[in-house]
Structure 1
Amino acid sequence: MLFRAATADPADIDRALAYPADGPLEALPADRVRAELAAGRLRPEWTWFAEDEDGEILARALWWGREDSERPIALDCLQVRAGVADPVAVAARLLTAGHTAFGNLPGYHASLPRDWRGRPDIAGAVAWRREAAYRAGLTSAIERLRYEWNPAAGTVEPTGRLRFREGTDEEFVEAFARVSAGSLDLHTQTELRSMDATRLAREDLAFYRDCPGERSWWRLAELPDGTLAGLAVPSATPYHPNVGYLGVVPEQRGKGLIDEILAEITRFHAGRGARRITATTDTVNAPMAAAFDRAGYEVTEIRLVLEGPSWV
């Protein structure tokens, strides 16, 4: 069996587009793949096949990145033909070949309906993908709720409990570091096992600077006397405005201030004409999920994120 990336030959790209969407998990339609290829978010060298000796494609993996990414950021699509006897083995070898070529381990992001565990066909499709990803080095799993806001949900006016202002990078580093203490976010908890809060804060700042949103959108949240309460980082994906990052410092938690900060981000995007605002939070982060619910955001899917250690 041959594991390889697609070439820039239009015929090879057409083969990627013609691959059937076997199985119950939603696959990217051909028109979406073409659009992402044209935008540089999917690329031939990030599109990998498993072929048999006759050249028939038995499996396909599509990795995604931003337009300026040097390496892919996430695995968007993993499929193995229904007739393959051992889909786990084929998929694991395909992912390993891609990881070796990229020199990193992009996470696998699978979009699932909320009731996926109660649907045997979807649960089975998740199970073999998860095992294949594990064999290829993606050994940790996080489930995240994906939320959306639309104008029908409305916005709320500021209450005056907080004031919001621009801040320097160093002020945001301090704010990121302070809100990370006691965070329920699983990624934050994991990162803090291997680095201190200040280093993680600088990485967070760099990450959100690289997102499509503008640095000028960010705000520090303060009490009326100037005491730091948290931060609001409105951001964007290549597709929609989103709630990038928000948090409350430990000593101010439990007072409902998270609602004030989320409302500020929502007002900001809505004021710029947003028709949809997206957001995610871990399923275990019940306080954050409750804040989204109160703000009129609705869950649209569960996103299963499989990750491994970073390669340098």
Structure 2
Amino acid sequence: MVVIRPARPRELPALLEFPDDAERNAATRAYLGELLAAGCTRPEWCLVAEDGGGAPVGSAVLWTLPGQEVPYAVVLFEAPGSAEVAAALLESAAATARSLGADELEHVVDAPAQAPQFQRDPERRAELLRSAGFRVIRDGRRFRWAAGAELPPVDARLDFRSLDRLGPAPFLALLAELLGETADARLAADVVRYGARQAAERLFEETAELRHEPHWWEIGYDGDGTPAVISLPAENPSVAVIGFVGVAPAHRGKGYAAAAVVRGTRLLAANGAREVRGDCDAANAAMAKAFTRAGYRNFAERLEFSRPL
């Protein structure tokens, strides 16, 4: 019999530890400690599965952005060797998130396994998620830039103007235009569900929940005076990110996505970032090329899952 319960104080932040896996244990312990300190999770959101003898055999932690009251993702999901434990944990996580006001729950699976979550056996994890009602909403690629890596110069063809100068209206208009022809499966689904304008508003608002300064967010204008590319760099609770880059359909094929990545990276580095990460859809070859041209390295693949509640 599997019992799912909140973690006990003495179990935090270690939660579930693995014998003979000191690297994983230390990294995940530090990660959960950071999440608790930042307000991305709470002790009652940290779930432990125990077997009939009371031994811990699995874990799942609900996650949200700092300051938010509603969780929308699961992290540190562990159910080694047991589909029954996995199903019970995911169902309990979904029920808890629903009771707190969530209408969907997400989880990502990265390969290869790496700190801080060490998601080993990604194929099995994906199958467990599918069995629990999750579906893939994006097949992604992850990119990383580290301080010391060379950055190309800022593209002189573009005149960058910031949010604090322009206000949000031009940003929303450009987002709505470019989302109408996006190669990103997740964003395309939002356009189908909400329409281009509302999808643009949702993207803008969700990215704005990450820490950023108004002068970081910019639109790059082409020499003909038209808006060509949008750049929304930011910082999530653990790392600086290229929150979003998008190019207007009329200006694609000019290398402007790479220019925006370079621009955003320089802004974040000037603010102290020693590492910057960015994701894109596997089908978005132009964005993957932009990261590579900007000096980023593809370090992982990421499947993004979602389950309606």
Q: Normalising by the residue count of structure 1, what TM-score does the alignment of the two structures yield? A: 0.85
CA distance, structure 2, for counterparts of residue 203 and residue 22 of structure 1: 44
Post-superposition Cα deviations, 1:73-98, rounded to whole Å, max 9, x if no partner, equal 3222221244xxxx223212210111
Instruction: Please tell me the residue identity of whatever aligns with 1:130.
Output: A
Aligned residues: 295
Shift of 1:307: 1.4
Indicate the SS of the match to 1:300.
strand
| Aligned partner (choices 10, 15, 18) of residue 20 of structure 1 | 18
CA distance, structure 2, for counterparts of residue 130 and residue 39 of structure 1: 28
Contact 1:146 1:303 in 2 (8 A): yes
Over aligned residues, Cα RMSD in angstroms?
2.5
Indicate the SS of the match to 1:273.
coil
CA distance, structure 2, for counterparts of residue 37 and residue 177 of structure 1: 36
| Aligned partner (choices 124, 134, 137) of residue 138 of structure 1 | 134
| 1:186 match | 185
Unaligned runs of 5+ residues in structure 1 are 115-120
| 1:111 match | 110
Contact 2:3 2:49 in 1 (8 A): yes
| 1:154 match | 150
Post-superposition Cα deviations, 1:112-133, rounded to whole Å, max 9, x if no partner, equal 129xxxxxx95xx323322221
Contact 1:222 1:228 in 2 (8 A): yes
Name segments (4+ residues, structure 1) moved above 6 Å.
none
Q: Normalising by the residue count of structure 2, what TM-score does the alignment of the two structures yield? A: 0.86
The 5-angstrom pairing of residues 45-60 of structure 1 reads 45-60=44-59
Contact 2:239 2:276 in 1 (8 A): yes
Shift of 1:53: 2.5
Instruction: Please tell me the residue identity of whatever aligns with 1:90.
Output: V
Post-superposition Cα deviations, 1:35-73, rounded to whole Å, max 9, x if no partner, equal 322332232222112222322222211232222121223
The 5-angstrom pairing of residues 88-107 of structure 1 reads 88-103=83-98, 104=102, 105-107=104-106
Q: Are the structure 2 counterparts of residues 282 and 3 from structure 1 closer, same or farther at C-alpha, using a change threshold of 3 Å? A: farther
CA distance, structure 2, for counterparts of residue 2 and residue 88 of structure 1: 11
| 1:118 match | none
Deviating more after overlay: 189-198 vs 64-73: 64-73
| 1:68 match | 67
Shift of 1:12: 4.4
Q: Are the structure 2 counterparts of residues 130 and 98 from structure 1 closer, same or farther at C-alpha, using a change threshold of 3 Å? A: same
Instruction: Please tell me the residue identity of whatever aligns with 1:140.
Output: V
Contact 1:149 1:277 in 2 (8 A): yes
Contact 1:150 1:276 in 2 (8 A): yes
Unaligned runs of 5+ residues in structure 2 are 114-118
Q: Are the structure 2 counterparts of residues 158 and 130 from structure 1 closer, same or farther at C-alpha, using a change threshold of 3 Å? A: closer
Shift of 1:289: 0.6
Post-superposition Cα deviations, 1:194-238, rounded to whole Å, max 9, x if no partner, equal 121000011011111111222332111111332111211111111
Among the aligned pairs, what percent are the same residue?
A: 27
